[in-house]
Each structure stands twice: as C-alpha cells, then as structure tokens.
Amino acid sequence: MDFPTVSELKEQLRITNEETEFDNILATDLGAAKGRVLAFLNRPVVEALSNPSVDNEIEVNESIKSAILNVAGYSFDNTNNLDEEMIRAILKSCVGHLRLKSLR
C-alpha cells in the first residue's frame, strides 16, 4: 500500500481536485503528518516490505494511512490553533497498537 497523496487528503477534506489554491499547504501538512506518524510508531514504515525485511519494519496499512490523513486534515483545519493533545489522541487511536516502545 502507498503512503497517502494530496489527492486523497483533498478527498477526505471535501476539496475538489480542481481547487488547487491549497495544494502547497496540503502537501506540507501531509509531509508533516507522515513525519509525526513515523516518529510515533518508532519503527521503519515502507510501501513494500523488502526481502529480507528490516527488523521491526512494517508496511503501510489502512491504520497508518488513516493516521496520516487524520493528522494532516486536523492540521489543515486548525492551522492557527493546533492542540497537541488532540494530535496524540489521533495517533494513539489510529496506530497505537502498532507502536514500538523505546528499548531504553
């Protein structure tokens, strides 16, 4: 499965593909959301597993895709008023079961 695209984020936000004025902001929010999700998971996330796979490597799945889209959508809708607790709640809800705890 692939990481989400700007088109998928626009679909979730009910923005048509013809409305391009927000594309740069959406791409930035999508990239930042992907970074947050990957940091939260604390493990390598890839679009396709390699053979042999890296320790703890996980393939993009519906939960990861949903987390990225939800965090990006929340960030876009609340640009001037982000609530970090809400973002953590989204992450825990969508991908908390996939998270690896630190080995420290």
Sequence-distant (6+) residues with CB within 8 A of 13 are 26, 73, 76, 77
Residue 20 and residue 63 in contact, taking contact as beta carbons nearer than 8 Å: no
Task: Give the pair of three-digit tokens for residue 46.
Answer: 């890839």
Residue 29 and residue 68 in contact, taking contact as beta carbons nearer than 8 Å: no
Domain assignments of the chain as residue spans, ordered by start = 6-98
What local confidence, expressed as pLDDT, does residue 104 receive?
A: 41
pLDDT digits (tens, 9 = 90+) for 56-100: 889 999 999 999 999 999 999 998 899 999 999 999 999 999 997
Proportion of the chain above pLDDT 70, given as a percent: 94
CA 97 to chain centre: 15
Task: Give the pair of three-digit tokens for residue 41.
Answer: 């998971």
pTM of the model: 0.90
- Residue 46 backbone dihedrals phi, psi, to 5 degrees: -130, 160
CA pair distance 52, 23, nearest whole angstrom:
37
pLDDT digits (tens, 9 = 90+) for 16-31: 999 999 999 999 999 9
